[in-house]
A and B are shown apart, each in its own frame.
Chain A
């Protein structure tokens, strides 16, 4: 309140104005639901959206490209060994004369399948285990958490390697091995979320109306715990893809001709010194790009779903 010229006002402005209740409550910005708002913010994140775009494209290619490919990748083609990229073989050929382009998309199928399957199985086990542990609380919770703690202490990749050695290399084995160790992280997150939310008033309110446990879990807990869980799933996919590639690279991958990217990279390792760079480059590039896309998408979703960042 600094003394300055009194503001100018016309005499006829001095009359009461009609009150309307709505005006007093008027809100300038439109209100959006949680998911609408999250989606709006995700869309603003260019990096995350390009990640999503890449993944959609990758999935389409993985589904259709092998079907459309004219190249045979089941019998060895001695005439076409180790040919560099050309108009006929866009990504070149490998030591069996197989088209690297075609194999790359078969590899995409394997990698995406492994990643998504592992994430989904983790999700279901994690939801059930973590949900029960968090929701029941008390003794059940402490016993279940002790089990988790021990499992968490296990070196995952070692267990996976051991399982692969014993069960033999196949797609199913990889997924089983990855989920046996992988669900623990998801269960912890779900439990944490449930613990936090089950004490909120709206859950108590539901209970006081006589809602039964399954209904409370379905209607109150799940929708409110989904944010971090979706983020965790998005980030599980690249780590499963990495784990698959890693195992393949150790010689525990699935066998030819349906190679994964890891197997292709592993096969190419001895020959990069001889200059057949395309054999390593393309699978390596796609592993990296896919992991990159999932990571930026996961980060973007984390930011978008974090209520603290809501503006």
Chain B
């Protein structure tokens, strides 16, 4: 297990480094300086600005500065808002985005697993068809469409819920629904198919042959095995939720990280784009690392698997 964790850990560091390097050189491959479009006709000011952002240095020196920035977690100042550092923006936006993300993940995981399990247990029944209809629709309707529909219906027409911002639990309902529906649908479908597969296994027949209670059969024998595939897609799920926050925060005018990120894309604010990308990526890769470890604990066979290679 320890070897497995260490291996995964170095994998994580390598991935982050690759992303960081990729981000840096991609951003530097853009011709011209970020100040070209600004009307800073004065060459002295431009030179000073470039010096401030260390753009006057050769690329490899800049790369070293950049790596140092990542390690020390200091991404320097924003270009469009020079009095604000990238760090300040991240620090302000992250808690809000994290709140939205965590609530959405919880909603998606809990409701998705519940729906999928019931659908599988009542295979070809009404619950199954209902849940799967919901799931296909949930996967098909993009979150930004759903978000606008929800605002239209519950905020504008019915006026039950506030249409925007992030200040009370009431404000959280619509964004969370909009963000969690897609992942819920995916988890429900996966849980269902994996549960159906598990239910046909010999050990399930054996559990029934022992005369165990249906509750024990489902929760102790089936669910744990059925949830293995769910854990493996949690990484992609998290990535989906995270990128989902970009549009959801934009639509609901939530002052999270996603909003700053989208702003920085539209403004071509390179330090913010770079900082955010690296931060997001590192966060995601770290989450994947955690997911891997959780999986290792859930599946007692994991050590065997890895030794045999990917089978």
Chain A interface residues toward B at CB < 8 A: 142, 145, 149-150, 153-159, 161-163, 165-166, 238, 242, 245-246, 249-252, 265, 269, 272-273, 277, 280, 284, 287-289, 291-292, 295-296, 299
Contacts and interface: CB of A to CB of B under 8 A. Distances in A.
Contacts of A154: 15, 18-19, 281
Given A154-B19, A155-B284, 16 more contacts: A154-B18, A155-B243, A155-B280, A159-B22, A238-B140, A246-B247, A252-B265, A269-B148, A280-B148, A284-B145, A284-B149, A287-B142, A288-B141, A288-B145, A292-B141, A296-B136
A4 to B, nearest CB: 33
Interface stretch (B25-33, B120-128, B294-302): B25-33
B142 A246 contact: yes
27 contacts: A145-B310, A150-B18, A153-B12, A153-B15, A154-B15, A155-B239, A155-B242, A155-B285, A158-B281, A158-B284, A159-B19, A162-B26, A162-B277, A165-B265, A166-B30, A238-B140, A250-B247, A250-B265, A251-B262, A251-B265, A251-B266, A252-B265, A269-B148, A269-B251, A284-B142, A288-B142, A291-B141
A102 to B, nearest CB: 21
A269 B147 CA distance: 11
Nearest to A289: B140
A292 B239 contact: no
Contacts of B266: 251
B24 to A, nearest CB: 11
- Give the 8 A-B CB pairs with smallest separation, nearest first: A292-B140, A291-B140, A284-B145, A157-B243, A153-B15, A288-B141, A155-B284, A155-B239
- Residue from A153, A157, A161, A165 with most neighbouring chain B CB atoms (10 Å): A153
B137 interface: yes
A296 B156 CA distance: 32
Contact of A246 (B140, B243, B273): B243
Interface residues of B, number: 47
Nearest to A239: B139
A277 B153 CA distance: 12
B286 to A, nearest CB: 10
B51 interface: no
Interface string B245-271: 011001100000000001001101000
B144 A249 contact: yes
Contacts of A291: 139-142
B14 to A, nearest CB: 6
Interface of B: 11-12, 14-15, 18-19, 22-23, 26-27, 29-30, 136-137, 139-142, 144-145, 148-149, 151-152, 156, 163, 235, 239, 242-243, 246-247, 250-251, 262, 265-266, 268, 273, 277, 280-281, 284-285, 288, 309-310
Given A156-B239, A163-B26, A251-B266, A299 B148 contact: no
B15 A150 contact: yes
A299 B288 CA distance: 27
Nearest to B265: A165
A149 B11 contact: yes
Contacts of B14: 150
B265 A166 contact: no
A242 B182 CA distance: 12
Contact of A265 (B11, B144, B281): B144
* Residue of B144, B251, B262, B265 ringed by the most chain A CB atoms within 10 A: B144
Nearest to B18: A150
A292 B141 CA distance: 8
B156 A249 contact: no
A163 B235 CA distance: 22
A1 B27 CA distance: 83
Nearest to A283: B145
Nearest to A47: B136
A162 B144 contact: no
B247 A142 contact: no
A250 B267 CA distance: 12
